[in-house]
Amino acid sequence: MQVKMRKNKGKTNTIEKEFMFEFKSGQHHCVLKVPLQFPLRENVNDLHGRIMLLHKIPCFVENDLKNSLVGFIERETLVDYDREAEAALQRLTNGEVDINTLTNSWAKAYSETTLEHARPEEPSWDEDFASVYHELIHSPASETLLNLEHSYFVSVSELISERDMELKKLQERQAAEMDKVMQELGKTLCDQDVNTVAAQHFDAQQVLENKWASELKQVTGIQKQEYQEWVMKLHRDLQNPNNSTINEEIKVQPGQLGEAGEAGARLFEEQRQLEESFTIHLGAQLKTMHNLRLVRSDVLDFCKHRRHSSSGVKLRRLQTALSLYSTSLCGLVLLVDNRVNSYSGIKRDFATVSRECTDFHFPRVDEQLDIIQQVVLYARAQRSSKQREQPEMPRNGGSEDKNKIMDRNSSNILPGEFYITRHSNLSEVHIVFHLCVDDNVRSGNITARDPAIMGLRNILKVCCTHDITTITIPLLLVHDMSEEMTIPWCLKRAELVFKCVKGFMMEMASWDGGISRTVQFLVPQIKNAEGTMDPLVHLSPLRVRISALPHPTRPPRPWAPDPAPFTFSWRSE
């Protein structure tokens, strides 16, 4: 065995040792010699594979070569460790190393890497505020907190109304001006003049929108700071039992919740979603009870707050606030495109709703999206580097085209992937899963292996690992209906989603040990020819006969039709 000492960029000494392996191939006696650098910094299996490929070693000695290589590396590595230890002891004996310095460095390393000696982390402001808020919202001060939050919401809503009114006036004035320009087109004005006026209109609208966006951001920032400081001050004052002023201030008056907005509350309840509830049991041996709801509603109804302060609205806000820092979170699946922003479609509508009320606990939705964009770019860069290190031959042209598209749009996500935003300012939701889907979900030929379906599975897995016990899922994987979505199309899509979610729910038992959950299947609202809502149109094609008892506190609705031909059993096999 030949040994050569080398310097590796001035950092560590490397030793070159020669590995030798002898074997017979027929009447020939073969000897393999391979120089190896120690300490070895590569995987033994990879090294073995390269030796087999480069030296064209016969396959019948593959296992013998691997055993011999592994044994050689283990022996020589131990020899290197012993040599370095002897050299360190020799330097210590000769006085080349200070014993006190060495002892201090060992003690420091041990204390920093061992948990029992680690210094406890100091709680941050966010953690302190979360703990204080959780304590206050479960105390008589909860009514005071909700009233303050509602007053902030009303002030922001009024500011948004002023913004919308000013934008509307600007658009009307610009439309009238553009009509005059178009009437003079070809007479005293040319196409260039029209383009100039359109550009001026666009710039003026952008300036006005930026002005209001800056003002809203400033107002919500001030509200958040004032609210957090007031909550901390209230908690400190409540620690003093002799402070009678605070106790009178937070006392709940019985008649305060009731009558002012009761008419509006009844109107709201009538216009709200139609739903039907079921209780089911899933599992092969150990069965778990789950609650299911079939709901007809707009997806953003779970996020919007109402201006009138009725008892129903307050109770809903209270329920959301009570479970904000708990193990019973509520989630919502929002179907979006592959761009991580809030500029168009349902993403813009959701961002508009989330900005109507200040979030006192989490960053604004725009800030969360900015962070997510950076994470997506980092993840794409890491994935690209791994693909360059380990290139694989594409199975077909589609994979190559997809890789090219991802290279061009590294900030986009793929269908089936999702990102999560956290909220404390939504009506009934704490977590929003933004699931990326493409136009394929509007066709009738998707399968259980479709990216959207697999995205639902991953979302349910996140729910199990992060204490999300209520999840709302679009039953048809769309938020609005179109002409091609006929009754057979709806029945086929509902059956697919029901069967897949049933399998995922049974799989939950292995993820979380069988915790009871509530799954809400959301059906989009549909308008008939007269433009009014018809509940039979929504639920009669999708009403399912579940083989379990209905919820005991909710008898069947009087408007419910006879069971449709489509039936689905939730009974486990």
Distance CA 53, CA 17 (A): 21
Q: Band of the pLDDT at 94, cuts 50, 70, 90?
A: confident
Q: Band of the pLDDT at 548, cuts 50, 70, 90?
A: very low
Burial tier of 9 (Cβ tally within 10 Å: 0-12, 13-18, 19+):
exposed
- In DSSP notation, 229-296 reads HHHHHHHHHHT-TT-HHHHHHTPPPGGGGSSTTHHHHHHHHHHS-EEEEEEEEE-SSS-EEEEEEEEE
Q: Is the pLDDT of residue 551 over 80?
A: no
Distance CA 351, CA 373 (A): 16
DSSP state of 341: S
Query: pLDDT tens, 446-469?
Result: 888 999 999 999 999 999 888 899
Cis peptide before 39 (omega within 30 of 0): yes
Q: Which of 443, 416, 273, 280 is nearest to 337 (CA)?
A: 416
Spatial CB neighbours of 381, under 8 Å, sequence gap ≥ 6: 410
* Tokens found for residue 55: 């030296």
Q: Band of the pLDDT at 55, cuts 50, 70, 90?
A: confident
Q: Which of 298, 145, 153, 140 is nearest to 216 (CA)?
A: 153
Distance CA 464, CA 455 (A): 14
How many angstroms separate the first and last alpha carbons of the chain? 65
Model pTM score: 0.69
Distance CA 292, CA 502 (A): 11
Tokens 């999840």 found at: 471
| Other CB atoms within 10 A of residue 429 CB | 24
Query: pLDDT tens, 487-545?
Result: 888 889 999 999 999 888 888 777 777 788 899 999 987 755 444 344 334 444 444 44
Of 1-5, 15-19, 299-303, 309-313, give the lowest mean pLDDT range.
1-5
Q: What is the reported pLDDT for 270?
A: 42
Using CA atoms, how far residue 431 sits from 126, 163, 370, 427, 545, in Å, is 18, 28, 17, 11, 30
Q: Band of the pLDDT at 175, cuts 50, 70, 90?
A: very high
| Amino acid code (one letter) for 62 | E
Which is it for strands 288-296 and 329-336: parallel, antiparallel or unpaired?
Answer: unpaired
| Amino acid code (one letter) for 503 | G
- Give Rg (Cα) of the chain: 33
Phi-psi category of 227—alpha, beta or left, where left has phi over 0 and alpha has psi -120 to 50? alpha
Query: pLDDT tens, 402-411?
Result: 554 444 566 7
The dihedrals phi and psi of 65, each to the nearest 5 degrees, come to -65, -40
Of 151-165, 302-316, 450-464, give the lowest mean pLDDT range.
302-316
Q: Band of the pLDDT at 249, cuts 50, 70, 90?
A: low
Distance CA 406, CA 191 (A): 39
Distance CA 280, CA 554 (A): 14
Q: What is the reported pLDDT for 281?
A: 85
Residue 489's SS3 state is helix
- In DSSP notation, 175-228 reads HHHHHHHHHTBTTTB-HHHHHHHHHHHHHHHHHHHHHHHHHHHHHHHHHHHHHH
Of 131-140, 195-204, 465-474, 558-567, give the lowest mean pLDDT range.
558-567
Q: What is the reported pLDDT for 527?
A: 58
Tokens 């000696």 found at: 117
Spatial CB neighbours of 122, under 8 Å, sequence gap ≥ 6: none
- Residue 172: in which H helix or E strand, if any? helix 142-183
Distance CA 433, CA 459 (A): 7
